[in-house]
Structure 1
Amino acid sequence: MKKIMEDPSKIMRRSIHTFLQNYDRATTAAALVLPFSAALLLSQAFFSSSSSFHVRLNTLFNGAGISTSLDLFNMLSFKLSQTLSSSLLTLPFSLTFFLFSKAYVIKLLSDTHDSVYYLPLLKTHVCNSFLLLSVTSSAFALFLIASRNSYTIFSLASALIYSIILANATVISNLALVSSTSSSSSGGYTAILKACLLIRGRASTALALALPTNLGLAGVEALFQYRVVRSYYKEDRDIALIAIEGTFIAYLYALFLVLDTIVNFLFYQSCLKNVEDQKIGREDEYSIKIQICETENTKICIKCPE
């Protein structure tokens, strides 16, 4: 049967409506994830001011005989170094406040409010970390192989493939976190496999849904760099005012993280509904075929001269 998926704009509108309808509880969830968002923004600011890890990574590549003179390569290696450094620095916050907030939002939206969601989320989050690390390493290795040659078009193509693979892996990881809280899942790699099955034929919808929230998060990160980090190094404002404004920006980042969880949850529900509709459609089609066969057999029996 043909897969009929809900339009991404409808899911996004329902997500925003759900967010505004439960704004008081959404702010509570944002307060839970605020330490993580603040740590993430501060870690990125720290890394941008001290790129020693990036320099060591380039030194390692040069020692392996890989040219790092391309601007595209420098940009991707810097982003990879920034992501790895931020992930390591914010690991205690992601394993606690980030997952507590997700568990709170999912419990709010779920029908079963008596379930404990943290442990499945923790197992899936750890497995997601290994998955993203493996995917990033493999895709980046492809880019390095292409960069050994002097053909820029190969480097551009491999960079595009790297971005697509990483985007799909991130979408699967987010969906796996939500699916790990279902009663039929214990989390971990099982939730990742379930997310891979659910997202088949729906990858474009998932990417379209991830785009608005990721743009919002990127915009808040840029705002933090401009208003907080820049003012701190220029020393053009009082440190107390910078800290207060930084807290408000981190809280705005936390609100986008809450909205992202709501979007992923509603997308997961839409995938389940789509799978259920297909199952019912196949069962109806099968029952119609049985009825036709029974009717044909009845006609044959009537014609038989008994």
Structure 2
Amino acid sequence: MGKVIKTLRKSINAFLHFYHSLASIAAILIFPFSASVILSQSLSPSYFPILRTLYHRIQLLFQAAGFPASSQFFSLLNLKLSQTIFSFTATLPFTLTLLLLAKASVILIVKEFPCKRFTPPPFSSLLRLFSFLLPTHLFNSFIILSANAAFFSIIFLVFNVFDALHISSVNVILVLSAGSAIFYSIVLANTMVVCNLAIVVAAMESCGGYLPILKACVLIRGREATAITLALPANLAMAAIEALFQYRIMKPWKNSRSFSVSVIWEAFSIAYMHSLLIVIDVIINCMLYKSCRKSSWESGVDYHLELELEEEDLEA
């Protein structure tokens, strides 16, 4: 817990030290992405035809796979999956351009922290980092998709085995649903932590594609609990921001079908807070990277040698 608090303190210090530069990045580069994310995540299938169609398609897939239609877990999972797929597609242009440029800028700013002065990097350095982050992000998307596919394959087998054994009472379905929720949370949390750290590795070590993901797995080995704990504050805060947008902006709109000037201003403020949280999340991952590298060096573990052994195991 001490390492978590120390890393969070360093992250907040770095954010405050470079506040003006980081706040500008949040307002100019990340804001369009944040606005599109919280808007797409707050849409309901009952009000949006495309989302409603996607929801019903996933529901049919769940029914064909044998998942219990009465399970509230799979109903909520269906809604969240349809919103996530729609949000991913709708925000993809911003993700592959502005968001990656913003992450490259943030990493360049906090890379040498603590330093007393910040000199804006040349645009060529930013584009060079972007060329590493883009393929890494694409591989991250593939890893997240694979993790979800693996989870649903395992859950599909479990539910069908219980159904074949004629064990399908309400209590059994409830226990399996609860276990599935916990298992899915663990799988998704570990996957997201590795993918977020891989973005920082790609920028720090000037590499792209699958290699940063492999390096992130080596760095985070034995420190999974610390990494997940560090990821919780920013992610919980983003979830709270999305809920606030739903309550303060979308709920009044559903009731009156109109926006006042104050509500529009509040919507912009909420989106900007979401942008700042993304900046803080990138900084936390930068500090986590530095902490992992420092721990490896202090423990006498050759990080690059361990990585080479991992690559040889994969090739074998």
TM range (shorter): 0.7 to 0.9
Match of 2:292 among 261, 271, 280: 271
AA of the residue aligned to 1:123: P
Aligned to 2:308: none
**Distance 1:141-1:77 versus aligned 2 partners, 3 A rule:** farther
AA of the residue aligned to 1:9: I
Aligned to 1:254: 275
> Displacement of 1:237 after TM fit?
6.3
Any unmatched runs of 5+ in structure 2? 113-118, 303-316
AA of the residue aligned to 1:129: S
Aligned residue-pair number:
277
> Displacement of 1:44 after TM fit?
1.2
**Distance 1:86-1:238 versus aligned 2 partners, 3 A rule:** closer
Residue 57 (str. 1) matches residue 58 (str. 2): yes
Residue 171 (str. 1) matches residue 159 (str. 2): no
> Displacement of 1:195 after TM fit?
0.2
Please say if residues 41 and 224 of structure 1, whose CA atoms lie closer than 8 Å, have aligned partners that are also in contact. Answer: yes
Residue 37 (str. 1) matches residue 34 (str. 2): yes
Any unmatched runs of 5+ in structure 1? 282-306
CA distance in 1, matches of 2:3, 2:18: 23
**Distance 1:243-1:166 versus aligned 2 partners, 3 A rule:** same
AA of the residue aligned to 1:231: P
AA of the residue aligned to 2:203: T
CA distance in 2, matches of 1:237, 1:189: 47
Match of 2:180 among 150, 158, 166: 158
CA distance in 2, matches of 1:58, 1:139: 17
> Displacement of 1:241 after TM fit?
2.9
Residue 207 (str. 1) matches residue 228 (str. 2): yes
Q: Describe the SS at the equivalent of 1:279.
A: coil
Q: Describe the SS at the equivalent of 1:68.
A: coil
CA distance in 2, matches of 1:91, 1:10: 34
AA of the residue aligned to 1:57: I
AA of the residue aligned to 1:87: F
CA distance in 2, matches of 1:271, 1:64: 41
Aligned to 1:86: 87
> Displacement of 1:236 after TM fit?
7.9
Return the index of the structure with the highest Cα Rg.
1
> Displacement of 1:166 after TM fit?
0.8
> Displacement of 1:146 after TM fit?
3.0
AA of the residue aligned to 2:67: I
Please say if residues 217 and 256 of structure 1, whose CA atoms lie closer than 8 Å, have aligned partners that are also in contact. Answer: yes
CA distance in 2, matches of 1:137, 1:243: 39
Aligned to 1:285: none
> Deviation digits for residues 89-113 of structure 1, max 9, x if unmatched?
1111111111111011001012495
AA of the residue aligned to 1:177: I
Please say if residues 66 and 156 of structure 2, whose CA atoms lie closer than 8 Å, have aligned partners that are also in contact. Answer: no
Q: What TM-score do the two structures reach when normalised by structure 2?
A: 0.82
> Displacement of 1:61 after TM fit?
2.4
Deviates more, 1:64-73 or 1:245-254: 64-73
> Deviation digits for residues 29-67 of structure 1, max 9, x if unmatched?
211100000010111123454333112211222234433
Aligned pairs for 1:1-306 (under 5 A) are: 7-31=3-27, 32-47=29-44, 49-50=47-48, 51-111=52-112, 113=121, 115=125, 116-148=128-160, 149=163, 150=168, 151-152=172-173, 153-183=175-205, 185-235=206-256, 238-279=259-300
CA distance in 2, matches of 1:186, 1:96: 18
> Displacement of 1:159 after TM fit?
2.5
> Displacement of 1:139 after TM fit?
0.8
Q: Output the aligned Cα RMSD.
A: 2.2
AA of the residue aligned to 1:35: P
Please say if residues 99 and 118 of structure 1, whose CA atoms lie closer than 8 Å, have aligned partners that are also in contact. Answer: yes
Identity of aligned residues (%): 41
